[in-house]
Amino acid sequence: MPSGSPTSGVGRVIAGRYLLLHPLGSGGMGHVWLAHDRRLACEVALKEIVFRDPAEADEREARVARARAEARHAAGLRGHPHVVTVHDVLEHEGLPWIVMEYVEGAVNLRDLVARHGPLAPAECARVGLAVLDALTAGHARGVLHRDVKPANILLAPDRTGAPYGRILLTDYGISVQPDAGETRYTLASVLVGTSGYLAPERVTGGAPTPATDLFSLGCTLYHGVEGRGPFERESHLAELTAVVTEEPRAAGRAGALGPVLWGLLEKDPARRMPAAEAEAALSRIVTPEADAYARTQTDLGSQPHWGGAPPPGPVPDPAGFGTPQVFPSVSGRPGGVQGFGPPSGRPGAQTGPGSGTVSGKPGGSPTQPPGGPLGLVPGDGAPQRTRPRVAHAVVAGLLGLALAGAGVWYATSQETDPGGTGRPYGNSVGLRAPLKDGDCVLADWPGRTAFQGTPRLSLDASCGEKAPDGQVTAFVGAASAAEARQDGPAACEERTRELRGRLADVRSLAVVPTEAGFEAAGRRTACLVLGAHGPVYGPLGGHRSLGVAFADTATMQRRDCLDVRSHRDARLVSCAEPHDEQVLGFTRLGADVTLVEARTESDTACAREVPPRDYGFDPSVHTAGSWTSDGPWKNGTHFVVCTVRRQNGGTMEGDEP
């Protein structure tokens, strides 16, 4: 029986010995089963390698080797109290199965937090101590885990009956011994690890070190105490961006754990808190010591509420799903956010000028010459402009990763440039009339560095002719200019969150009125959505009209339905009507992939990274498609829009899940 279905194997006997009882869960490499060992008359857990898509056939050898490596590395830590024991690795029908300890009553940290809410700081510190102990034992043997995250930490009853007394690290499936000269079983075009938990140096192409595991541990503990990851965003691209260029969002629940989190989340591995220091700090939180000379009692926060009714939601983060606010405050630290935050003075993403032309097509189709709705080239129906566009280059060293920023930016000249009622947002912003819903804007940033300083805004009345950088998508009212300054940026982050989550590469910007211009601005802050690394080329979200032709992939968003008229002409249509494709998500290609190469590789990348089956589409009927355009290649993000379409080329109305 072929692998691939988590329910297809109940009752199978593996290697003549292990009877599959029921699935326990699924991961990146396969399914984990509860099985009965007929020889020893006990229960074990079996990890089955799964190849979900024909596109993975070329990777079979590497993934089988990775499974063997997982068994070898984990078996080397046999007997460690905080590592799931691996008993054996065997082959059945040509594929390996890993035989592991079955941890009865276990729940992973991700699911535990989802069910019962965040942990108390002291309890989270206890989890951190156990995982740190497992990691350092592996590091001492030269083994790096490389995928520390809440889903890979199990909590189970201990011998005393405490329901979460036992803490175990599992899944060494992508671990590596960097000094052993062994083959690294990774895919050349895919980062190995989990996007929101990867260390910045790994995202930018650096080698794994023990410090990379410590960064992932910091992200994991943040999730445990705050209820979500420090770089959690609506897409993998945005998470990778945040890990490299943005500070973790402020923590409202961490209490005494905050300094430890911040030390582990240091972006520079040379400055990151070392394991010994983290162990000492976590131990002090778990068991506070009296110190009459220098230290008061640590604040452990509330005690765990497991076993009772789920608690109220986590303490609201004024920044929604974005980063801590970056706007003027007396101390220079991000304002308006309770709890610990990033130190001031760290530079954001450095970007530079550039230009972007457009030429898109469904992936896998022949290259088309410029022209048509998806082929607007400056000078051919689209006037050129010499102003610096919004961030047309990627941070040096990112190796072509798509940086999909999701943070809010505060744009006002209130502190230094009061302006007057003739300019509601001040002289630096420059607009002489208040912004209106749907206004498309061009943004000129001082020093040609996007999202640093106050941009000078101008309008693109056509919302397309001048390749706009963004659009006004919401407003936030206020009783006073002071209230607008205090609450507007965070409110804009929240108001634009849903739209930003459906797009691949955008950020929000709050345009706050000055004191003198407050009334002229209609007593409200304008919330813009801007391209993070280039223009958006046209209207966004609900401001788009059905039937409009896409000028670039930048305006394509999740669940858009497309009428594909040619390889260069895709139009937005209602999903209730006949359509050819539907947008599912986004992926990115490597820095060395040219646009010409992308047009032949993007379908395969989407089939692997955004498979339609994961969205409920029948793989026997549907297949993955893709769209590319010049813009993401001009600015270095290399993102691809992934779609689903019918294999026979027919329309898709009425058969979506």
Single pTM value for the model: 0.46
Structural domain range at position 271 = 109-286
Cα(128)–Cα(133) distance, integer angstroms: 8
Cα–chain center distance at 71: 29
47 is in an annotated binding site: yes
pLDDT one-digit tens code per residue, 473-492: 999 999 999 999 888 888 88
**pLDDT score at 61:** 62
Q: How high does pLDDT run on average in the chain?
A: 74
Is the pLDDT reported for residue 180 higher than 60?
no
**3-state class percentages of the chain: helix first, strand second, coil last, to nearest 5:** 25, 20, 55
Q: Domain boundary residue among 286, 311, 346? A: 286
**pLDDT score at 258:** 93
Cα(453)–Cα(368) distance, integer angstroms: 40
Is the pLDDT reported for residue 223 higher than 90?
yes
Q: Are residues 550 and 437 in the same domain?
A: no
The most confident of the ranges 260-264, 574-578, 590-594, 646-650 is: 260-264
**pLDDT score at 411:** 63
Is the pLDDT reported for residue 240 higher than 70?
yes
The least confident of 78-87, 452-461, 517-526 is 78-87
Cα(496)–Cα(470) distance, integer angstroms: 12
Is 356 in contact with 282 (CB distance < 8 Å)? no
Residue 368 in domain: no
Residue 650 CB neighbour total at 10 angstroms: 12
**pLDDT score at 555:** 92
**pLDDT score at 339:** 26
The answer to whether the Cα torsion of 387, 392, 397, 399 is positive or negative is negative
Please, what is the Cα angle at 305 between 299 and 311, to 5 degrees? 100
| Long-range pairs of 152-156 with CB within 8 A, sequence gap ≥ 24 | 152/108, 153/108, 153/109, 153/127, 153/220, 154/84, 154/103, 154/106, 154/107, 154/108, 154/109, 155/106, 155/107, 155/108, 155/109, 155/112, 155/127, 156/103, 156/104, 156/105, 156/106, 156/107
Task: Round the CA-based radius of gyration of the chain to a whole number and report it.
Answer: 26
For residue 31, the domain's CATH number is 3.30.200.20
Q: Which one from 37, 53, 58, 147 is the annotated catalytic residue?
A: 147
Residue 502 CB neighbour total at 10 angstroms: 18
Is 212 in contact with 269 (CB distance < 8 Å)? yes
Structure tokens that stand for 136 in this block: 């350092």
Is the pLDDT reported for residue 193 higher than 70?
no
pLDDT band at 418 (very low <50, low <70, confident <90, very high): very low
Cα(322)–Cα(316) distance, integer angstroms: 12
Amino acid present at 54: P
Is the pLDDT reported for residue 283 higher than 70?
yes
Amino acid present at 561: C
Q: How far is CA 72 from CA 95, 171, 175, 195, 409, in A?
A: 16, 12, 10, 25, 48
pLDDT band at 434 (very low <50, low <70, confident <90, very high): very high
**pLDDT score at 390:** 31
Q: Are residues 196 and 263 in the same domain?
A: yes
* Host H or E run for residue 23: strand 18-26
Instruction: Summarize the confidence of residues 228-257 as an average pLDDT.
Output: 89
The most confident of the ranges 32-41, 154-163, 326-335 is: 32-41
Q: Are residues 501 and 622 in the same domain?
A: no
Is 198 in contact with 79 (CB distance < 8 Å)? no
Q: Are residues 421 and 518 in the same domain?
A: yes
The least confident of 190-194, 478-482, 565-569 is 190-194
Residue 56 in domain: yes
Residue 603 CB neighbour total at 10 angstroms: 21
Residue 355 in domain: no
Beta-carbon contacts of 366 under 8 Å, excluding residues fewer than 6 positions away, are 567
Is the pLDDT reported for residue 320 higher than 90?
no
Is the pLDDT reported for residue 511 higher than 90?
yes
Is 626 in contact with 602 (CB distance < 8 Å)? yes
Q: Are residues 90 and 163 in the same domain?
A: no
pLDDT band at 248 (very low <50, low <70, confident <90, very high): very high
Is the pLDDT reported for residue 396 higher than 50?
no
Instruction: Summarize the confidence of residues 45-72 as an average pLDDT.
Output: 63
The most confident of the ranges 132-146, 167-181, 295-309, 619-633 is: 619-633
Amino acid present at 533: H
Strand 506-511 relative to strand 408-411, pairing: parallel
Residue 378 in domain: no
Q: Domain boundary residue among 257, 286, 315? A: 286
DSSP secondary-structure letter at 196? Answer: G
**pLDDT score at 62:** 61
Q: Are residues 566 and 632 in the same domain?
A: yes
Residue 441 in domain: yes
Q: Are residues 427 and 508 in the same domain?
A: yes
**pLDDT score at 257:** 94
Report phi then psi at 105, rounded to 5. 75, 10
Amino acid present at 186: T
Residue 591 in domain: yes
What share of the chain has pLDDT > 90, as a percent?
35
Q: Domain boundary residue among 74, 101, 128? A: 101
Q: Are residues 416 and 484 in the same domain?
A: yes
Q: Are residues 180 and 78 in the same domain?
A: no
Instruction: Summarize the confidence of residues 428-454 as an average pLDDT.
Output: 88
Q: Are residues 444 and 477 in the same domain?
A: yes
Give catalytic status of residue 592 as yes or no. Answer: no
Cα(434)–Cα(522) distance, integer angstroms: 7
Is the pLDDT reported for residue 291 higher than 70?
no
Cα(48)–Cα(32) distance, integer angstroms: 6
**pLDDT score at 408:** 55
Strand 569-573 relative to strand 561-566, pairing: antiparallel
**Does residue 538 or residue 615 have the better pLDDT?**
538
Count of structural domains, the chain: 4
Q: How far is CA 53 from CA 184, 273, 362, 489, 614, in A?
A: 22, 41, 20, 44, 11
The most confident of the ranges 8-12, 15-19, 365-369 is: 15-19
pLDDT one-digit tens code per residue, 537-546: 999 988 999 9
**pLDDT score at 200:** 93
Of 391, 382, 525, 569, which is closest to residue 470 (Cα–Cα)? 391
Residue 590 in domain: yes
Residue 635 in domain: yes
Is the pLDDT reported for residue 217 higher than 70?
yes
What share of the chain has pLDDT > 70, as a percent?
70
Cα(170)–Cα(164) distance, integer angstroms: 16
Q: Are residues 441 and 553 in the same domain?
A: no
**pLDDT score at 68:** 65
Is the pLDDT reported for residue 457 higher than 60?
yes
Strand ranges (E), 512-657: 524-531, 561-566, 569-573, 581-588, 622-628, 639-646
The least confident of 137-151, 158-172, 377-391, 600-614 is 377-391
**pLDDT score at 486:** 86
Q: Are residues 74 and 123 in the same domain?
A: no
